[in-house]
Every structure is written in C-alpha cells, then in structure tokens.
C-alpha cells in the first residue's frame, strides 16, 4: 500500500536546505550502498565462483565461470547505458522523480532478495538474471536520487549535501558488511550451519536493508509534481546526448579528456568489479579474506581521495591524474606477477589509494572544463555518465573475453594496463590549465 500511496501524494512546496529532508535524502545512500559494497564487490563474486562449475557450457560455447560473471556485468551496464538518457530526461522533465526512484528501488532490492534461491548450477540462470536485474535497479535508482540534489539544496550547499550522502553510504554499507562478515566466518554464532546459507542470507539482508531504509527517503522527499511533457521524454534524453556530442566535436581538449576518461574508466571500473574474482580464482582467497580486502579498499579510498585532492591543489589536475594513471599501470603489472596473499593485500591498499581519487578528480576536472556551458550542465553530465557506463561494458567484456581466449585472468589484467596507458597518452595531449584558470 505504501508504494501505491506514494504515487497519489499531493504536491507541496519544497523548502531548500531543510535538514530533515536532506537527512532523508542521504539515507538513500545508506540504503543502497550496501548493494554496491556487499553484493557487487565483496560477497556475490566469490559466491558465484564457489557454487558454479569452473567451465560452463552456454549453447555450443564453453566459457569459464569468471568470464560468465564479467559478461553479466557487461550486459547489465549495456542496458543501463541505453536507459540512462531516457531516465535522465524523465528525471529532468516529467516531475515523477519519486515514482521512478521507488520503481527502481523495489526492482533492485527484490531482485537482490531473490538471489537467496541461487544455490548452484541448477539455478545458474536464476542467479545470473536476478543479479543483472538488481544491478539495473541499483543504477537506475541513482539517476533519480542524484536528480533530487538541486530540488532539496541551494547551489552553495551541493558539495556539503553530496558529501553527507557519501558519508551515510560508507557508514551504512560497512556496518552491514561487518555483520555479514561475522555471519560467514562464524555461522555458529548465528545458529547457522557451515556452507552456503550464510552468504545467501546476506543477499536477503542487503535487499531488506535497501528496501527498509529507503522508506525514510520516500517519506521525507518532496512529492512528485507531474508535468504534461511525458510524450516528449522518449526523444529528449537521446537528443541531449546527440547535441552534446555535436558541440564536443569542436572542443578538442574536452573531447580528448573524455576519450582519456573513457579509456582509463574501462580499467578502473573493471578492477573494482573483478578484483574479488581475481583474488578468489588466482590466489584461492576465502570469503573472509575477500571481505577484508574490500574493507581495506574502502578505508584507504577515503584517505586517497583527500590526498589527491590536496595534490591537485598544489600541482594541478593534469599532473595529479597522470600520477594516478601511472600508479594504476604499476598496480596492473604487479598484480600480473603477484603470487602470495600478503602481496595482494598490498595491491588492494594501492588500489584503494587511487580508487576514490581518480573518480572524484575526473568529475571535478570535467566540471571545470565545461564551466562555460552552464545552461547545458545536465546534458554534459548525462553524456559523461553514459560514457562511463559504456566504459564498464568495454572493460568487463574484454576482461572476460581475454580470459576465455587465453585461459588466464592474469592476461586480462595486462589488458587493463593497456587501457590505462592509452588513457595516459591521450591525457598528455589535453591542456587542462586553460580551463582551470578560467573557473
């Protein structure tokens, strides 16, 4: 009834910078970040490899289970890349943000809960399909969540409010991950048997956590104010992408930066999605080892983001980004040769250091470069987001394909190093200073 009721609320005036509304908005990050951390990064990748055969027969083709997992991510983000312009148009012009925020939240959280029934090879397609749908629900909801920022906060508060959401998401997801970690390592403490039941209950907990805490957001955010432009939405989002590309064709430095961003994002995002799979398959890490790695990544990432933000203030965005790309190249090369668990823990710490930094600095650099296009910022960022989604498709697909062709994930890691090298070469031909000086 809550879902139906939310669709029938009466429009009301929105007061900017209302603390109660902002906290409610930030709680959505608390709710859905658990999926990003527990499912896509920590527990589900290892679980997928453990309960499926190392070689899978798909039609007449034989592929490894880790390639299958990489392809599932590729399919999810390919769908998201096509949906994103449409969803952005809906978020901007339909006045139905909450309705679609609820739809994708319920789609993602219930699909996450359905992973409980994925127990092995007999449910391979069940687990794969619901993982893809849950990922689409997660990413689809984020479009509408982000679209609320200018509705609830004044421009001078954007950074503070956004940071509050990030903080809520980090704290909430780590708390749930710690509980899941204890449940998997010490199932007897929770009255559970050894085996797959603990991680499967974790999937349910993530879905319920996501579903439950999002209700705070739904109650506190302003209600929808539907417009009459719904018939134009199918065209609007894709027209935005096309128009931005036409403009970018005449702005060579922004275009080069985006090409560089596309290349190294294919590497960055694939490392984040496939690190746990690599550790489990190549180094025989257990579930508890993998969760410790994810915690290392999360903790070090915060310090890394601040470190490279400080560095960019001192030496400029381009040198800071180039330094991080050199570190990413080194990480991939070292990962190719790593044999011991302790070595991989060190690699994980290095990934954490550059993970948060390169994502935040890339977005802020792009913001400075497009500052003269104030009236079209939403369009430019929609283009940026689609580019990042397609980069994930390219990175994860090539990772799985190279492993399938060569029989080893270490070769796939070297391909990721190539993406970083190409990104670094293109970035070296970008004059960022001329944009930063004006902003």
Distance (Å, rounded) from C-alpha 44 to C-alpha 148?
Answer: 30
Same domain, 236 and 378: no
Confidence of residue 434 (pLDDT cuts 50, 70, 90): low
Last residue of a domain, one of 217, 248, 279: 248
pLDDT in tens, 266-297: 999 899 888 888 888 888 887 677 777 877 87
CATH of the domain at 198: 1.20.1250.20
Same domain, 236 and 263: no
pLDDT in tens, 144-175: 888 788 788 886 777 677 778 877 888 899 89
Expressed as residue numbers, the domain containing 206 is 17-248
Question: CB-based contacts of 198: which residues, under 8 Å, 6+ apart?
Answer: 180, 183, 184, 187, 190, 192
How many CA atoms does the CB half-sphere of 371 hold within 13 Å? 12
pLDDT in tens, 67-99: 999 999 999 999 998 888 777 777 667 777 888
Higher model confidence: residue 191 or residue 284?
191
What is the pLDDT of the chain when averaged over all its residues? 85
Q: State which H helix or E strand residue 56 sits in.
A: strand 55-58
Q: pLDDT exceeding 90 applies to what percent of the chain? A: 45
Confidence of residue 10 (pLDDT cuts 50, 70, 90): very low
**CA separation, residue 308 to residues 173, 314, 388, 419 (Å):** 24, 10, 21, 21
The count of structural domains within the chain is: 2
Confidence of residue 38 (pLDDT cuts 50, 70, 90): confident
Q: What is the mean pLDDT of residues 238-247?
A: 78
pTM confidence score: 0.84
Same domain, 98 and 215: yes
Distance (Å, rounded) from C-alpha 237 to C-alpha 97?
Answer: 15
Confidence of residue 225 (pLDDT cuts 50, 70, 90): confident
Q: What is the mean pLDDT of residues 230-238?
A: 64
With the C-alpha atoms ordered 184, 186, 190, 191, is the resulting torsion angle positive or negative?
positive
So what's the pLDDT on residue 25? 92
Asked if the model's pLDDT at residue 40 lies above 80, the reply is yes
Distance (Å, rounded) from C-alpha 73 to C-alpha 287?
Answer: 20
């Amino acid at each position: 009834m809550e879902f139906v009721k939310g669709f029938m609320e009466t429009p009301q005036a929105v007061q900017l910078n209302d603390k109660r509304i902002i906290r409610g908005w930030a709680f959505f990050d608390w709710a859905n970040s658990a999926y990003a951390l527990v499912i896509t990064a920590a527990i589900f990748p290892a679980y997928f490899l453990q309960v499926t055969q190392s070689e899978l027969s798909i039609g007449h083709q034989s592929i490894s289970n880790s390639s299958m997992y990489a392809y599932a991510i590729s399919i999810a983000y390919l769908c998201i890349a096509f949906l994103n312009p449409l969803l952005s148009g809906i978020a901007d012009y339909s006045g139905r943000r909450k309705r679609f925020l609820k739809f994708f939240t319920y789609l993602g959280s219930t699909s996450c809960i359905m992973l409980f029934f994925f127990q092995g090879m007999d449910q391979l397609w069940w687990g794969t399909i619901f993982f893809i749908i849950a990922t689409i629900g997660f990413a689809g909801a984020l479009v509408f969540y982000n679209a609320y920022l200018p509705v609830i906060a004044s421009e001078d508060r954007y950074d503070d409010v956004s940071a509050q959401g990030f903080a809520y998401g980090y704290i909430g997801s780590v708390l749930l991950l710690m509980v899941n970690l204890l449940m998997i390592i010490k199932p007897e403490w929770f009255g559970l048997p050894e085996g797959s039941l603990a991680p499967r209950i974790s999937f349910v907990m993530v879905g319920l956590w996501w579903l439950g805490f999002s209700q705070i957001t739904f109650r506190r955010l302003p209600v929808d104010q539907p417009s009459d432009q719904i018939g134009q939405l199918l065209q609007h989002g894709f027209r935005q992408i096309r128009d931005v590309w036409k403009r970018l064709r005449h702005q060579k430095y922004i275009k080069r930066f985006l090409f560089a961003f596309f290349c190294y994002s294919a590497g960055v995002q694939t490392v984040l999605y496939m690190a746990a799979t690599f550790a489990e398959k190549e180094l025989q890490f257990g579930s508890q080892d993998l969760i410790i790695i994810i915690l290392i990544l999360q903790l070090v990432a915060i310090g890394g983001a601040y470190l490279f933000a400080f560095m960019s203030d001192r030496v400029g965005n381009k040198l800071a980004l180039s330094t991080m790309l050199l570190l990413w190249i080194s990480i991939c090369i070292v990962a190719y040769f790593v044999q011991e668990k302790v070595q991989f823990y060190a690699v994980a710490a290095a990934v954490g250091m550059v993970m948060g930094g390169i994502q935040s600095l890339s977005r802020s650099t792009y913001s400075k470069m497009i500052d003269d296009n104030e009236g079209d910022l939403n369009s430019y960022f929609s283009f940026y987001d689609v580019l990042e989604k397609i980069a994930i498709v390219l990175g994860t697909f090539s990772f799985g394909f190279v492993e399938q062709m060569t029989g080893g994930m270490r070769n796939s890691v070297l391909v990721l190093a190539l993406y970083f090298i190409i990104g670094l070469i293109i970035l070296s031909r970008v004059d960022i200073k001329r944009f930063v000086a004006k902003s």
